[in-house]
Amino acid sequence: MRASGELGPVLRIAATQARSELQLRKRRRQQMLTYLVVIYISFLVFLVIIVAVQEVLVPALPSDVPTPVGSANRLGVGVDQFARFGRVDKAAYTLVFFHTALIQAVLTGFIGGQLGEGTLKDGAKHAAVLLGVAYVAFLLLSSPVASLTVADQPVDGGELTVESASLSDGGFVVVHESDTEGPVVGTSGYLQAGTHRDLRISLDGSVNTGTPLVLVVHQDTNGNQALDYDFEGAGGPDQPYAATGNAEFVTVELTVE
């Protein structure tokens, strides 16, 4: 074995090795960039589909479905199965879609970082970007939705029972007499965002048998957990939840029996 004081060849070998490694990394990054772009585009397509389903399909679902009776029911299916289509918890769908988009953003970001840069640490950067995109998309494109379900004969002892009230952004349920422009005969307390079961609303003593009632769901637009709306004047900030189709607001009509 010979020892030499000439460092030139050693440094040239080291430089060549370092240059080759850098070139390999650069080539790998260029090749993986295509997959990274595909991952981002796939997430954006997923986000568009989710928002489209939430904003177009779910609000357009019917509030009630005609139930076949007698000989009209040739499918051999229980009538309760048809009635379920009219009881869609639209606010719950909004929450599910939002959480699904966040989970998809995190997983897509980590996969993109692993493919693009080779480490999960870099994937956290992509996950943060996709989380921001998903949050902003839902914040700007998502409309508040609400739905009500009232059982048969819901008024008993001066109280009206709402079987299910779902509100995506929280708010109140207001009971009008006759129509949406009629006098207010009952108001619920503030309802947090989500689904509320067996909600009881006290009615005024003026409500008699045969009185038609209309339930309207109002938003808590200003976030003060108080109903700020002038029913006899120009309204107020806490507007009713908008409905799709021919109806202007999310309402339920019933008659006191």
Task: List all residues 6 or more positions away from 157 whose beta carbon is below 8 Å from its beta carbon.
Answer: none
Same domain, 137 and 210: no
Range of the domain at 215: 146-255
CA distances (Å), origin 215, targets 1, 148, 253: 96, 9, 6
What is the per-residue pLDDT across 6-49, written as a single tens digit (0 to 9) for each?
Answer: 677 767 777 778 887 777 677 777 777 788 888 899 999 999 99
Q: Are 107 and 123 in contact (CB under 8 A)?
A: no
Same domain, 39 and 62: yes
Residue 1 placed within a domain: no
Q: Which residue intervals of 53-119 are DSSP H helices?
A: 79-83, 90-116
Same domain, 179 and 240: yes
Q: Are 238 and 216 in contact (CB under 8 A)?
A: no
Same domain, 122 and 215: no
Token digits of residue 101: 């988009």
Task: List all residues 6 or more positions away from 196 whose beta carbon is below 8 Å from its beta carbon.
Answer: 162, 164, 165, 166, 167
**pLDDT score, position 59:** 66
The neighbouring-strand residues paired with 191 are 171
Same domain, 240 and 214: yes
Same domain, 127 and 159: no
Domain count, the chain: 2
What is the model's pTM? Answer: 0.62
Of 74-78, 104-108, 147-151, 247-251, where does mean pLDDT reach its minimum? 74-78
Q: Is 46 exposed, middle or buried (0-12, 13-18, 19+ CB in 10 A)?
A: middle
Residue 2 placed within a domain: no
Same domain, 150 and 94: no
Same domain, 134 and 228: no
Same domain, 130 and 169: no
What is the per-residue pLDDT across 65-106, written as a single tens digit (0 to 9) for each?
Answer: 444 445 444 544 454 544 454 456 667 777 888 899 999 999
